[in-house]
């Protein structure tokens, strides 16, 4: 019979089926929404137990609102057929993906595990234990990363009614859950809490890592024996050590040895995922810690030296520049004083009677200094009358163009200029005054060659000193890091011995620093572990009589049809 309508929902196609129900793609015309409808199969409709179990899914999942749990929209019953309207998921069940893909990458496993742990944290906080976590009940989104938990059909509500239902169903010999993923306490028909779901998550993660189930028994009885008494084969594939530890802890036979809650599992998986991402982002062939420490310290020292040397050189150059300016100012003042009287006399004479030869002779003598590149004397009209370069005599004086350095109280203007040959000079311009009247101007250019040579010598000296300091810091950093690594290596050796089963190892080094406190803590830990590792009572033997997994009865009367 083809189902076409369930209540107000228009059935479009059957998209799946489970042990108890068929799942259809449907359309809700009242709100223009496509969704999924789960309808209990005909053979189970007249059995109150299965009807109650089916509707329990709606009670359990309908009260939950979490991004990793399927959303329930509506629940009802049409002509004796219970149904659940729920979110239509765009993806693929995890079991089908695992069959096609085999082993999953560690990053994908951690991503799936974090979402499952967070969803169970929320569900358990709301008093709901799923009891049937398995790959076929996990929908993997098309992005390959997001998951949602489905099928709360055998979930237990943590209230008195739920406890009574669980007790009655266990007493009649039914163990709810998929045998391959159920917890030991679930296989033995014992009371359950959220840690039972965490065991199932461990079995699921194990299968994603290894590409095969943790427990491979061919029958329900064999599976129950394996789950309650035997450990799964060790994880021998390339898998992060932290992830192996998490899975092994989840698969502990005793619930108190597992993670205490979904929140604790989520935190552990998040830490492992962050560590794995950090490790993948770094170079796998990392340098040893002493070398890395030396590089870090050397880099910081180099930066400090660079800033310090730069500041020192800048301060030193400015100081040397001030000395050069003071010296040049003295020279130009001396020349202006000696040229003042001849310039004043010539200023009072007609142009054809002026005599500038004494000034030219003085300029020729004064400009013999190798540091003086040019010396000019101009009259009050701005015409050059004497110069170290005779070709300039008679030309009009041009003010210097460049970076103005200073103008002191005596009126000397100092400018930093670049000559045509690329050399830098200071140009000192000073008015020639006589009896308070301006009668001319002196312009002297002093080369910066010696100033720059002195600055370069200082720069090279400081750089050499900085490199020596940097090399010394690098060597001392390596030695210090190696010294620090000695107690770390000793502690690592102790931890490795403990991992190999040698619980008698103790740290004998006596230290009065923080490492001494660490060694004392290690010794105290080993004492506690050794005490707990003392022979304990053997685990209870499996009582197969207490574990009976019964298939659904075949003599359930079929129900009459639904609207077709």
143 SS3 class = coil
What spatial distance separates the first Cα and last Cα of the chain, rounded to whole Å?
7
Among candidate residues 74, 108, 132, 283, the one labeled active-site is 132
Residue 319 Ramachandran class (φ > 0 left, ψ -120 to 50 alpha, else beta): alpha
146 SS3 class = coil
Rounded CA gap, 58 and 85, in Å?
A: 9
* 132 in active site: yes
- What ranges in 73-139 are assigned the alpha helix state H? 94-101, 106-125
Rounded CA gap, 37 and 114, in Å?
A: 28
Rounded CA gap, 364 and 361, in Å?
A: 5
Give just the sign of the alpha carbon dihedral 92, 95, 97, 99: negative
Cα–Cα–Cα angle for 41, 43, 44, nearest 5°? 70
Count CB-CB contacts under 10 A for residue 203.
24
For the residues of 535-559, what is the DSSP string, one character each? --PPPPPP-GGG----PPPTTPPPP
- What ranges in 500-541 are assigned the alpha helix state H? 514-532
Is 187:227 a contact under the CB 8 Å cutoff?
Answer: yes
Helix/strand number for the chain, H first, E second: 14, 17
3-state secondary structure 409-426: CCCCEEEEEECCCCCEEE
Count CB-CB contacts under 10 A for residue 360.
18
Catalytic residues: 132
């Amino acid at each position: 019979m083809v189902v076409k309508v369930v209540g107000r929902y228009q059935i479009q196609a059957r998209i799946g089926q489970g042990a108890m129900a068929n799942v259809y793609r449907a359309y809700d015309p009242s709100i223009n929404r496509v969704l999924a409808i789960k309808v209990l199969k005909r053979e189970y409709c007249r059995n109150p137990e299965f009807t109650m179990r089916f509707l329990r899914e709606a009670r359990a999942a309908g009260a939950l609102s979490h991004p990793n749990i399927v959303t329930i929209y509506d629940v009802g019953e049409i002509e004796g057929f219970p149904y659940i309207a729920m979110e239509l998921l765009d993806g693929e069940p995890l079991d089908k993906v695992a069959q096609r893909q085999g082993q999953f990458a560690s990053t994908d496993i951690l991503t799936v595990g974090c979402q499952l742990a967070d969803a169970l944290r929320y569900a358990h906080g709301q008093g709901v234990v799923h009891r049937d976590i398995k790959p076929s009940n996990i929908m993997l989104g098309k992005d390959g990363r997001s998951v949602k938990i489905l099928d709360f059909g055998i979930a237990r509500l943590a209230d008195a009614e739920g406890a009574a239902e669980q007790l009655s169903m266990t007493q009649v010999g039914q163990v709810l859950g998929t045998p391959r993923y159920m917890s030991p306490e679930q296989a033995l028909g014992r009371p359950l809490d959220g840690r039972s779901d965490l065991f199932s998550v461990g079995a699921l993660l194990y299968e994603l890592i290894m590409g095969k189930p943790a427990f491979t028994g061919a029958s329900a009885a064999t599976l129950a024996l394996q789950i309650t008494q035997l450990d799964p084969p060790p994880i021998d594939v390339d898998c992060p050590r932290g992830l192996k530890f998490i899975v092994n802890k989840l698969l502990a036979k005793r619930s108190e040895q597992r993670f205490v809650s979904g929140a604790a599992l989520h935190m552990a998986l998040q830490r492992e995922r962050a560590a794995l991402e950090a490790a993948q982002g770094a170079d796998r062939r990392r340098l040893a810690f002493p070398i890395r420490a030396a590089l870090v310290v050397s880099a910081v020292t180099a930066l400090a030296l660079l800033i310090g040397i730069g500041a020192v050189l800048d301060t030193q150059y400015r100081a040397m520049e001030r000395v050069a300016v003071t010296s040049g100012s003295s020279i130009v003042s001396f020349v202006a004083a000696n040229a003042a009287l001849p310039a004043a006399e010539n200023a009072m004479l007609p142009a054809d009677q002026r005599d500038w030869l004494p000034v030219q002779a003085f300029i020729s003598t004064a400009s013999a200094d190798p540091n003086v590149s040019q010396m000019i004397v101009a009259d009050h009209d701005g015409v050059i009358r004497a110069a170290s370069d005779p070709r300039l005599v008679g030309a009009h004086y041009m003010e210097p163009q460049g970076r103005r350095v200073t103008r002191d109280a005596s009126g000397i203007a100092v400018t930093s200029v670049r000559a045509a040959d690329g050399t830098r000079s200071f140009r000192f311009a000073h008015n020639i005054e006589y009896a308070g009247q301006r009668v001319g101007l002196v312009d002297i250019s002093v080369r910066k060659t010696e100033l720059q040579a002195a600055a370069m010598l200082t720069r090279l000296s400081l750089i050499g000193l900085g490199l020596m300091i940097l090399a010394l810091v690098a060597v001392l950093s390596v030695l210090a890091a190696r010294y620090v690594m000695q107690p770390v290596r000793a502690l690592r050796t102790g931890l490795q011995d403990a991992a190999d089963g040698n619980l008698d190892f103790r740290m004998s080094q006596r230290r009065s620093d923080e490492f001494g406190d660490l060694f004392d803590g290690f010794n105290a830990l080993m004492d506690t572990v050794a005490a707990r590792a003392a022979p304990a009572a053997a685990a209870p033997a499996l009582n197969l009589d207490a574990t009976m997994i019964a298939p659904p009865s075949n003599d359930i009367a079929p129900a009459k049809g639904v609207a077709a």
